[in-house]
C-alpha cells in the first residue's frame, strides 16, 4: 500500500514538474517572443507598486499578447486564476443545465443571470489582464471592459439574492425599491470605476479610490443585504432553537446557509487583498510572478462565486414555495430584461469614457 501511494505521489510530482516547464518550452519554441522588462523600462502608467519586474513590452503584435498567456510575466497568474475560474463556472453551468430547465422555467432565470454574469466578469477580467499591456489606450479600454463585467456580476448577485435568498419580512420592506436601487448602483459602480481610471493622473490616489471603491461597496452591501438579513435571522433562531415556528419554517438546518456564510467570508477576504497590496508591500520585488495581493483577490473571489452559485441553486430547489409566492410569474422576466438594459447602459458608459480617453491621449500626443 505504501509503495502504491509513493508511486502516485511521484507521478503527481513529475506531472507538476512538466506543467511548470510549459512556459520555458513555449519560450524555446517561439524564441521571437520578446522577454519581459523591469519597471524602469516601461512607462510609469503601467507600473504596479512593489512589482519590479515581469512587465511585457508595449506596442507588440496582438499575437504576442495572446501567446503571453503561456509566458512567465507579472500578469500570468492574474490571467490564469480567472480563466480557470470561468472554466469552473462553465462546468457548473453545464452540470446544472442537466437538471434545471433554464428555458421554460422562468423561476430559474435569476440563477441563469447569476451564472451568465459570473462568466462575464471572469472572462472580461481574463481579457483585461492578458491584453491591457498593448498600449495605454488599450489598457484603458480593456479595464473598462473589466468594469462592465464587474457591474454585471453585481446585478446578477442582486437578482439571485433578492429572488431566492430573501425572507418574507425583508421582502415586504424593500420590494418596491430593491431592484431599481440595485440597477442604479450597478451603473454607478461602472461609472465610478471607469471615470476614476480615466482621471488616473489628474486626481489624487485617495480621491480615485473613493470614486471607485465606495460605489462598489454600496452595491455589494445592498445586493447582499437579503443574505445578511437571512444569516442574522439564522443565527438568532439557532441560538433560540426552542422557537417552534422557526424550526417549522425550516430556518434551522437550512442547507444553503453555510454556502451563503462562506460566500460572504470569501468576498470580504477578497476585498481585503484588493484594497491592500499584500504581501508584495512586505517583500518588494519578490512577488513579481507569484504572491501578489491581486492574485489572492482573484482566488478568493472565484471561491466566493462558486459558493454563491451553490447557495442559489440550493435555494432554487428548496425554497420554491416561498419565492413563487413572493415574486409571482412575471418578475423573473422583468429582471431578465433589466439585465440586458444594464448591460447596454454599462457598455455605453465604458464607450463614452473610452472616447474621453482617446481625446485626452490625442491632445497629449499633439502637445509633444
Residue 169 lies inside a defined structural domain of this protein = yes
Q: For residue 294, say whether it is annotated as part of any ligand binding site.
A: yes
Q: For residue 286, what is the domain's CATH number? A: 1.20.1070
H-helix or E-strand spanning residue 53: strand 53-55
Considering the domain boundaries, does residue 301 fall inside one? yes
- Cell triple for residue 94? 453545464
Domain count along the chain: 1
CA atoms within 13 A on the CB side of 62: 2
Three-class DSSP category at 41: helix
Predicted local confidence at residue 123, as pLDDT: 98
Please check whether residue 181 is in contact with residue 225, taking contact to mean a CB–CB distance below 8 angstroms.
Answer: no
CB atoms under 10 Å from CB of 157, counted, come to: 27
Phi, psi at residue 284, to the nearest 5°? -55, 130
Asked if residue 306 belongs to a domain, the reply is yes
Pick from 185, 270, 194, 181: nearest CA to 219? 185
- CA distance linking residue 53 with residue 210, whole number of Å: 29
Q: Is 298 within any annotated ligand binding site?
A: yes
Cell of 176: 418596491
Question: 171 a known binding residue?
Answer: no
The confidence score (pLDDT) of residue 225 equals 98
Written as nine digits, the cell of 13 is: 510530482
Examine residue 73 and state whether it is found in any structural domain, yes or no: yes
Q: Write out the three cell numbers for 344.
A: 447596454
Alpha carbon distances (Å) from 272 to 31, 138, 212, 220, 254? 39, 28, 15, 14, 28
- DSSP-based three-state secondary structure for 292: coil
d(CA 339, CA 117): 9
**Cell numbers of 332, please?**
423573473
13 domain residue, yes or no: no
Cite the DSSP H helix spans in the chain: 2-20, 22-29, 62-67, 76-97, 109-131, 136-160, 168-174, 178-198, 205-223, 225-239, 244-248, 257-275, 293-318, 320-327, 331-367
- For the chain (368 residues), the mean pLDDT of every run of 10, in chain order, is 49 54 54 86 92 97 96 97 98 97 97 98 98 96 98 98 97 96 97 89 66 89 97 78 46 82 97 93 95 97 98 97 92 96 98 96 83
- CA gap 366, 232 in Å, rounded: 58
| Predicted pLDDT of residue 253 | 65
Distance CA(83)–CA(299), nearest Å, equals 11
Which residues form the domain of 314? 29-238+251-367
Q: Tell me if 66 is assigned to some domain.
A: yes
Give φ, ψ of 168 to 5 degrees: -55, -40
Q: Give the count of beta carbons closer than 10 Å to the beta carbon of residue 45.
A: 11
Amino acid at each position: 500500500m505504501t509503495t502504491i501511494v509513493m508511486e502516485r505521489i511521484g507521478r503527481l510530482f513529475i506531472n507538476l514538474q512538466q506543467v511548470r516547464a510549459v512556459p520555458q518550452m513555449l519560450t524555446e519554441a517561439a524564441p521571437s517572443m520578446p522577454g519581459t522588462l523591469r519597471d524602469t523600462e516601461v512607462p510609469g502608467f503601467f507600473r504596479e507598486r512593489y512589482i519590479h519586474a515581469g512587465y511585457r513590452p508595449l506596442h507588440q503584435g496582438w499575437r504576442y499578447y495572446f501567446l503571453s498567456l503561456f509566458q512567465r510575466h507579472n500578469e500570468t497568474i492574474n490571467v490564469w486564476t480567472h480563466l480557470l475560474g470561468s472554466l469552473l463556472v462553465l462546468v457548473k453551468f453545464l452540470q446544472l443545465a442537466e437538471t434545471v430547465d433554464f428555458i421554460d422555467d422562468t423561476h430559474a432565470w435569476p440563477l441563469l443571470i447569476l451564472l451568465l454574469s459570473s462568466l462575464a466578469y471572469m472572462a472580461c477580467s481574463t481579457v483585461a489582464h492578458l491584453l491591457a499591456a498593448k498600449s495605454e489606450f488599450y489598457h484603458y479600454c480593456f479595464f473598462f471592459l473589466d468594469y462592465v463585467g464587474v457591474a454585471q456580476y453585481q446585478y446578477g448577485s442582486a437578482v439571485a439574492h433578492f429572488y431566492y435568498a430573501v425572507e418574507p419580512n425583508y421582502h415586504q420592506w424593500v420590494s418596491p425599491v430593491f431592484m431599481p436601487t440595485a440597477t442604479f448602483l450597478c451603473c454607478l459602480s461602472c461609472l465610478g470605476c471607469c471615470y476614476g481610471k480615466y482621471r488616473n493622473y489628474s486626481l489624487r490616489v485617495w480621491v480615485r479610490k473613493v470614486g471607485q471603491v465606495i460605489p462598489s461597496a454600496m452595491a455589494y452591501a445592498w445586493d447582499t443585504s437579503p443574505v445578511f438579513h437571512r444569516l442574522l435571522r439564522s443565527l438568532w433562531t439557532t441560538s433560540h432553537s426552542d422557537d417552534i415556528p422557526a424550526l417549522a419554517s425550516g430556518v434551522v438546518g437550512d442547507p444553503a446557509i453555510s454556502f451563503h456564510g462562506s460566500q460572504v467570508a470569501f468576498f470580504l477576504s477578497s476585498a481585503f487583498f484588493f484594497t491592500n497590496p499584500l504581501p508584495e508591500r512586505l517583500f518588494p520585488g519578490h512577488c513579481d510572478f507569484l504572491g501578489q495581493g491581486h492574485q489572492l483577490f482573484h482566488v478568493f473571489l472565484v471561491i466566493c462565486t462558486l459558493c454563491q452559485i451553490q447557495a442559489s441553486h440550493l435555494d432554487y430547489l428548496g425554497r420554491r414555495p416561498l419565492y413563487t409566492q413572493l415574486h409571482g410569474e412575471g418578475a423573473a422576466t422583468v429582471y431578465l430584461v433589466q439585465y440586458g438594459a444594464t448591460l447596454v447602459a454599462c457598455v455605453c458608459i465604458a464607450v463614452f469614457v473610452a472616447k474621453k480617453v482617446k481625446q485626452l491621449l490625442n491632445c497629449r500626443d499633439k502637445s509633444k
